[in-house]
Copies of this chain bind each other. A is one copy, B any other.
């Protein structure tokens, strides 16, 4: 049973290297050269035309085609396609290399891959660690809140702003504060039925804890979004939403991954609140979208 390699068998997907080894003994010298080149550098060969591969191996087009046939493909065109697939596969298989820390001399492409990978990891961790009960409670409070205050400083301040912008768009009365004094000034206005949200990665940023404490003392419902569920900020929080903490390094400060994590939590809050208040949120969203349409140049293309 040494024939029928090429008979009923469909073209090989990724078992190409193995097939080359199996069939090598039954090949002629020139064909072996071609097969060797193909098995050795699938990606490179996929970029070559028949003529190119013939020249590279010092053979002729006819030989290349014959080799492709022997390997089970209708012609070189199909071998080339399979080669491209193989190349892509072992390309993606090389992915775990990016788990290493970012080094000073990493090439740009590596930095991009590593950062993307790390942030993806952060998202997965955050989603896995998020307490849906706490989230649900916070959402319920927000959906019916008379007024919402959000406190955040530094990098977390931007996250606070983001949440504030989003909530405004669905018709809620929300305001983000980055100025500690103004934050406290506003916090004293809060009372039962209002919601205060503090965002701090460390959980111990005094300038953010203080307004939350004031809001808490005045009877508002308080929420903390923090990476330290045991930090000082949680003393004054009715509901705690935990963000994940990724390993940090010199080229990847903690602020980077904490921001990613915080934003996911914020998006969850926003989306769930939108669900809850869909009747009023949907038209509000549509209206804000409409209002911005005029700010763009007419000719988008």
**Chain A positions near chain B (C-beta within 8 angstroms):** 13-14, 25-26, 46, 80-82, 84-89, 91-93, 102, 104-106, 108-109, 111-113, 115-116, 119-120, 123-124, 126-127, 130, 132, 135-136, 139, 154-155, 158, 161-162, 165, 202-207, 209, 228, 230-232, 250-253, 256, 259-260, 263-264, 267-268, 271-272, 274-275, 278, 282, 285, 289, 292, 295-297, 299-301
Having A14-B92, A84-B88, A202-B296, one finds 15 other A-B pairs with CB under 8 Å, namely A13-B88, A81-B81, A84-B84, A85-B87, A88-B88, A104-B275, A116-B127, A116-B264, A119-B267, A154-B292, A158-B158, A161-B161, A204-B299, A205-B295, A259-B263
Q: Which residues of B contact A136 (CB under 8 A)?
A: 108
Query: Is there an interface contact between B228 and A272, defined as CB atoms closer than 8 Å?
Result: no
Q: Which residues of B contact A263 (CB under 8 A)?
A: 259-260, 263
Known A89-B88, A120-B124, A123-B120; contact A297-B232, beta-carbon cutoff 8 A: yes
Task: List 10 A-B pairs, Cβ < 8 Å.
Answer: A108-B136, A111-B272, A115-B268, A207-B295, A228-B301, A231-B301, A232-B297, A251-B275, A253-B285, A253-B289
* Cα(A154)–Cα(B288), bound, Å: 12
Q: Which residues of B contact A161 (CB under 8 A)?
A: 158, 161
Chain A contact surface mostly = helix
Q: Which residues of B contact A268 (CB under 8 A)?
A: 108, 111-112, 115
* Cα(A130)–Cα(B251), bound, Å: 20
Query: Is there an interface contact between B126 and A271, defined as CB atoms closer than 8 Å?
Result: no
Query: Is there an interface contact between B158 and A115, defined as CB atoms closer than 8 Å?
Result: no
Query: Is there an interface contact between B297 and A209, defined as CB atoms closer than 8 Å?
Result: yes
- The residue of chain B having its C-beta at the shortest distance from the C-beta of A206 within the complex is B297
Selected contact of A112 from candidates B93, B135, B203, CB within 8 Å: B135
Known A136-B108, A264-B115, A271-B111; contact A88-B14, beta-carbon cutoff 8 A: yes
- The residue of chain B having its C-beta at the shortest distance from the C-beta of A127 within the complex is B116
Query: Is there an interface contact between B119 and A297, defined as CB atoms closer than 8 Å?
Result: no
* Cα(A132)–Cα(B111), bound, Å: 10
* Cα(A300)–Cα(B263), bound, Å: 23
Q: Which residues of B contact A292 (CB under 8 A)?
A: 154
Query: Is there an interface contact between B116 and A124, defined as CB atoms closer than 8 Å?
Result: yes
- The residue of chain B having its C-beta at the shortest distance from the C-beta of A200 within the complex is B296
Query: Is there an interface contact between A119 and B232, defined as CB atoms closer than 8 Å?
Result: no
Q: Which residues of B contact A205 (CB under 8 A)?
A: 295-296
